């Protein structure tokens, strides 16, 4: 495995516990997880369904604060950070269920985070176009609404939206779940390039052994804990 | 950025806007309509206040004796003289004295024979308005051309006679009336006749008062009539009047008090009807208000609930919640404006012109509506983004 680019600690989970509290019960989805993610690395998180993978990366993404413990980005806890800015500038999430804007076209969906970052229009458009092409979506797709795309195509739009806007940490929840082998490869290559050439930290939740094999580090989870 | 997103949403999903605007339209039309109805009612009520005359009459009421009590000078002053307690509340005060016996002399009687000459015995009433005292049911006053009851309030010696006295009228249209046990007499111009078998003469107040004043006599006011000058002050006037007079309805058989009749039943009935309608309208208006706020809240809430995921995605990408509120509020303000403007144009086509008052109402409604939207957004984004985002899994 090639390892260019310098690796440094970028994102740390420090004794992170996350509990879903419902009216009748408390579900501990993540229990006491400590781990340090480095830049320039592709991580794969694997584990049985329901073991807490989505919950862990959501906490890492600053969508919520951990119930106990800390998530530390660049030396600062997400508790102290302005989490709006953190999500806008530092982390990108690819959701298991895509979470595209149903009333925005493919192009507009990809542009949205860049508009939030106040990037110049032209630059943003060029970047979005390039990224969409890199995941195999040519111009004929750009003006469609998500409802007019297949599951795999939607997934690739979600990937493009996450990587076009340039956050250094990419959290991907089963990004290849709906992709064929060829597209899956294409996406994985993109992640590897981002990590190895540009120093991104890419964390992929996956059930696909091939993706796990192609990652630099595999993290196994079981019942909310990291087991290896 | 907010506005481009908004425009795109509107273009691609107009039904939301249409439903919201339509609901606003209906409510605004309702509010303007209610307002207009209320304004009409208030205008009618004002007209009733301004035009219904409340006549009051003071009579010497004594049912057990057959003489009447004179109305004292103080009473009269209270009503007729500046500084009098009731003076500010009344107008058109009419006075009448039943002067008593007088004689109408044949028209060819020379002045030197006025004293002692024989004539026809009549009853003389001094008044500045004969019409305040109906002679007899059905006996109408008929004025000669160019004359009216108002002439009795002037200084010219004019009179109104029974048709029985018409043969006594001279070619110059006057009669000679002798008063005060035959000591003085004056020529009075006949300006009207009434058809009744009595021989009462109504003479103008001031000239007759001046005439008897030469004998050092003062008129005894036997009855008075007046009109409330400002119906809005009726209650105040009544409160003052009550201290002086016993309402006619409370007079006993053997009462020797003066009776006051305030003939305000038409006025009170009319105003009561208006006031009842007005309070009903107020209730309806409040109800529509509360209902419209409730409905608009519900619409906004349901609308935003369908967008909960979309809002959560926006938050997850780092959109500030302030921007989120701004966006949704702008959007709904736009829907409101569309609905509101259509409604306003609509009612104007029907000839209603919404005034400042209505605009204020609509403005308040808009604020409440947007408050509803804001609460709905708060409600929709209050849950954890993380759990909302996972919702579709
Ligand atoms: N909103 C919620 N309320 C209560 N419990 C929840 C909620 N969301 C998830 N859980 C529970 O938390 C645990 C972890 O869920 P999570 O979604 O992180 O699993 P996962 O590893 O991503 O699973 P999968 O591979 O199926 O996506 C599960 O047991 C789940 O039942
Ligand atoms: Mg999951």
Low-confidence residues of chain B, pLDDT below 50?
Answer: 61-67, 392-393
- Which of B235, B263, B291 is at the close of a domain? B263
The model carries a pTM of 0.72
Query: Which amino acid residue places its CA nearest to atom 23 of ligand 1?
Result: A50
Per the CB < 8 Å rule, is A87 touching B318?
yes
Rounded mean pLDDT of A146-151? Answer: 94
Mean pLDDT, range A52-67, rounded to an integer: 94
pLDDT at B65: 43
User: B303 and B203 share a domain?
Assistant: no
Shared-domain flag, residues B209 and B276: no
Report pLDDT digits (tens) over A153-175.
999 999 999 999 999 999 999 99
Chain position carrying tokens 């409160």: B239
The answer to whether residues B180 and B70 belong to one domain is: yes
**To probe the interface with A, which of B10, B316, B326 has the most A CB atoms within 10 Å?**
B316
Kindly identify which residue of chain B lies nearest to residue A19, measuring between CA atoms.
Answer: B387
A5-42 burial code (b ≥16 CB/10 A, e <16): beeeebbbbbebbbbbeeeeeeebbbbebebebbbbbb
Domain hosting B168: range is: 55-263
Q: Do B68 and B28 sit in the same domain of this protein?
A: no
If one counts the domains in chain B, the total is: 2
Do both B110 and B71 map to the same domain? yes
Which of B206, B240, B263 is a domain's end point? B263
What is the count of residue pairs from A and B with beta carbons less than 8 Å apart? 65
Q: Which bound ligand lies closest to the C-alpha atom of A221?
A: 1
Same domain, B228 and B318: no
- The answer to whether residue A3 scores a pLDDT higher than 80 is no
Nearest ligand to residue A50 Cα: 1
- Which two tokens mark B285? 């208006």
Give the pLDDT of residue B249. 59
Whether residue B60 sits in one domain with residue B159: yes
Q: Say yes or no: B186 and B315 in one domain.
A: no
pLDDT score, position B31: 85
DSSP A86: I
Cβ distance B386 to A113 less than 8 Å, yes or no, reads: no
Interface predicted TM-score (ipTM) of this complex, two decimals: 0.92
Which pairs with CB-CB distance under 8 Å and at least 24 residues apart come from B329-334?
B329/B370, B329/B373, B329/B374, B329/B377, B330/B2, B330/B3, B330/B6, B331/B6, B331/B9, B331/B10, B331/B17, B332/B20, B332/B300, B332/B369, B332/B370, B332/B373, B333/B366, B333/B370, B334/B6, B334/B10, B334/B17
For residues B203 and B316, membership in a common domain is answered with no
Looking at ligand 1, which residue's alpha carbon is closest to its atom 29? A50
Measure CB to CB from residue B316 to each of A87, A102, A104 and give the nearest one. Answer: A87
Residues within a 6 A CB radius of ligand 1: A 20, 22, 27, 29, 49-55, 96; B 387, 390
Q: Are residues B160 and B23 in the same domain?
A: no
Is B173 found in the same domain as B97?
yes
- B389 closest CB neighbour out of A20, A99, A102: A99
Q: Do B292 and B237 lie in a common domain? A: no
The residue among B263, B296, B329 that closes a domain is B263
């Amino acid at each position: 495995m090639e390892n260019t680019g310098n690796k440094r600690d970028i994102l740390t989970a420090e004794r992170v516990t996350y509990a879903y509290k419902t009216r009748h019960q408390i579900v501990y989805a993540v229990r006491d997880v400590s781990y340090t993610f480095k830049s320039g690395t592709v991580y794969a998180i694997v584990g049985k369904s329901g073991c807490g993978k989505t919950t862990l990366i959501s906490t890492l993404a600053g969508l919520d604060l951990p119930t106990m413990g800390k998530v530390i980005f660049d030396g600062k806890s997400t508790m102290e950070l302005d989490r709006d800015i953190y999500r806008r500038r530092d982390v990108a999430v690819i959701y298991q269920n895509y979470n595209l804007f149903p009333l925005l076209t493919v192009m507009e969906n990809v542009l949205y985070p860049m508009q939030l970052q106040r990037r110049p229009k032209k630059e943003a458009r060029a970047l979005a176009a390039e990224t969409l092409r890199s995941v195999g979506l040519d111009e004929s797709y750009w003006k469609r609404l998500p409802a007019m795309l297949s599951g795999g195509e939607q997934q690739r739009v979600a990937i493009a939206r996450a990587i076009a806007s340039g956050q250094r940490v990419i959290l991907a929840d089963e990004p290849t779940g709906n992709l064929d082998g060829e597209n899956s490869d294409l996406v994985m290559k993109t992640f590897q390039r981002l990590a190895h050439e540009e120093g991104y930290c890419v964390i992929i939740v996956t059930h696909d052994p091939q993706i796990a094999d192609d990652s630099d580090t595999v993290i196994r989870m079981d019942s909310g804990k990291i087991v290896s | 950025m907010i506005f481009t997103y908004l425009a795109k949403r509107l273009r691609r999903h107009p039904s939301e806007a249409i439903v919201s605007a339509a609901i606003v339209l209906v409510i605004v039309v309702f509010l303007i309509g209610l307002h207009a109805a209320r304004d009409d009612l208030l205008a009618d009520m004002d007209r009733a206040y301004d035009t219904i005359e409340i006549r009051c009459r003071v009579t010497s009421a004594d049912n057990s004796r057959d003489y009447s009590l004179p109305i004292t000078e103080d009473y009269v002053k209270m009503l007729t003289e500046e500084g009098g307690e009731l003076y500010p509340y009344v107008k058109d005060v009419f006075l009448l004295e039943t002067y008593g016996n007088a004689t109408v002399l044949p028209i060819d009687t020379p002045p030197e024979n006025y004293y002692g000459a024989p004539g026809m015995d009549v009853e003389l009433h001094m008044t500045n308005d004969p019409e305040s005292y109906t002679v007899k049911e059905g006996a109408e006053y008929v004025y000669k051309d160019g004359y009216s009851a108002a002439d009795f309030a002037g200084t010219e010696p004019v009179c109104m006679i029974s048709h029985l006295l018409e043969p006594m009228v001279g070619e110059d249209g006057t009669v000679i009336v002798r008063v005060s046990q035959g000591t003085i007499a004056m020529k009075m111009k006949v300006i009207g006749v009434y058809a009744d078998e009595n021989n009462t003469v109504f003479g103008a107040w001031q000239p007759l008062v001046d005439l008897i004043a030469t004998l050092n006599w003062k008129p005894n006011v036997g009855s008075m009539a007046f009109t409330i000058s400002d119906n809005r002050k009726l209650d105040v006037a009544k409160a003052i009047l009550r201290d002086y007079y016993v309402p006619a309805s409370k007079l006993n058989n053997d009462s020797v008090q003066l009776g006051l009749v305030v003939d305000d039943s038409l006025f009170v009935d009319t105003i009561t009807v208006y006031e009842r309608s007005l309070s009903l309208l107020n209730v309806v208006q409040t109800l529509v208000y509360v209902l419209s706020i409730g409905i608009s809240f519900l619409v906004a809430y349901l609308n935003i609930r369908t967008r909960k995921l979309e809002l959560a995605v926006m938050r997850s990408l780092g959109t500030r919640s302030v921007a989120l509120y701004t966006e949704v509020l702008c959007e709904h303000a736009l829907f409101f404006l569309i609905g509101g403007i259509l409604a306003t144009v609509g009612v104007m086509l029907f000839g209603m012109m919404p005034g400042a008052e209505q605009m204020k109402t609509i403005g308040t409604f808009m604020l409440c509506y947007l408050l509803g939207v804001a609460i709905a957004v708060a409600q929709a984004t209050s849950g954890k983004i993380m759990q909302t985002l996972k919702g579709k899994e």
